[in-house]
A = this chain, B = another copy of it.
Amino acid sequence: MTIGIVGAGQLGRMLALAGYPLGLDFLFLDRSAAAPAAALAPILIGDLADPAQLRKLARRSQVISFDWENASVEGLRAATRGLPTRIAPPLRALATGQDRVAEKRLFERLGVPTTRFAAVNSRAELERAAARIGLPGVLKTRRLGYDGKGQRVVRDRAALAAAWRALGSVALIYEEFVPFEAEVSALGARARDGSEALYPLTRNWHADGILRLSVAPWEDRALERQARAHLRAVLREFRYVGVLAIEFFVRDGRLIANELAPRVHNSGHWTIEGASTSQFENHLRAIAGLPLGSTALLGHSAMVNLIGRMPARAVVLGEQGVHLHDYGKQARAGRKLGHCTLVARSAAERNRRLLRVLGRLEVALASAP
């Protein structure tokens, strides 16, 4: 069975690494033959929305998935028309994840607490939204934002004008600013037959809008119960197939949904070593129509993103029990180049080893556990 994947980034690369042992084959579509997944699978070169290349991908694959949440919904629908090729996760989830307003409306409809928000299409709407929701707030593009790009925190009315000038050329959303205590994510897979395999709650730390560090399990029973219920609600709403992630803020012991990602997620990379079945394998099992694998934990995990420049390989591998994942990318400031993971017998041991690793790798964090 060939899995076609739109986008050949690190997520696609890790999907292929997890899928070959299952006997799956892969075909990627990406703009660049130097993309991370291109080293280890055949690739079609073209724009990710190129109709001819998408059609070729659909003809040569039994299932199409995507490693990029902005894959073209219309392009995928057209490419598979008249073909038996399946698309997973479902296009409705992909479309919802691409529009922050649709995402918030979904959360509201399903009773998943989220930030107060307003769609903003004009300067006047922005003024009204700020008046109703209050300041400070966050102005974001509805589409194509990632890793903190396309958003501005607005602290006062003067900043409102500046934010409008910076972002106002496209459809926007104005959101309540949430002074959260923590960020967590819920991650799980749903199979075609409706069975589910959920991972434990993961706690995340960002800096400059980019995920730096995740630890799992984040042992807060009450939060985990809430997160699982919310994740299940979204999985069922979409009759979802594949892995889905939802990011939450935590405030006053309550979850506030921030956004969803209809794909494997950076905050789930620890599952490669830390769970019996990784998010990558479970995504593939789901979309290939196979039974989901156990999400049993193998210990207490920490995952550190390697951003901007790679530390010397021998430094990372010199730390006993640390696993390296090099995405094979050219270094560039702010770019995710790889990650490393450690798994320990206890949370205390994990934190102790993690702090040593962070020190050795000189990873900059806004805060640490």
Q: Say how far A13's CB is from chain B's closest CB, in angstroms.
A: 7
B13, B17, B291, B310: the one within 8 Å of A318 (CB) = B291
Is the CB–CB distance between B23 and A39 below 8 Å? no
Contact with B along A316-327 (1 / 0, CB 8 A): 011011011110
Is the CB–CB distance between B290 and A22 below 8 Å? no
Contact with B along A286-330 (1 / 0, CB 8 A): 000011011010100000000000100110011011011110100
Within 8 A of B (CB), among A227-265: none
Which residues from chain B contact A106 at a C-beta distance below 8 Å?
none
Q: Say how far A360's CB is from chain B's closest CB, in angstroms.
A: 13
CA distance A54 to B339 in the complex (A): 35
How often does this chain occur in the complex, in copies? 2
Q: Say how far A24's CB is from chain B's closest CB, in angstroms.
A: 8
Give chain A's interface residue range (CB within 8 Å of chain B): 20 to 34
B13, B20, B276: the one within 8 Å of A13 (CB) = B20
Within 8 A of B (CB), among A1-34: 13, 16-17, 20-23, 25
Give 12 pairs: A residue, B residue, CB < 8 Å, sorted on A: A17-B17, A20-B39, A21-B324, A21-B325, A21-B326, A23-B310, A23-B328, A40-B41, A276-B343, A291-B314, A293-B317, A294-B321
* Chain A interface residues (CB < 8 Å from chain B): 13, 16-17, 20-23, 25, 39-41, 276, 285, 290-291, 293-294, 296, 298, 310, 313-314, 317-318, 320-321, 323-326, 328, 338, 343
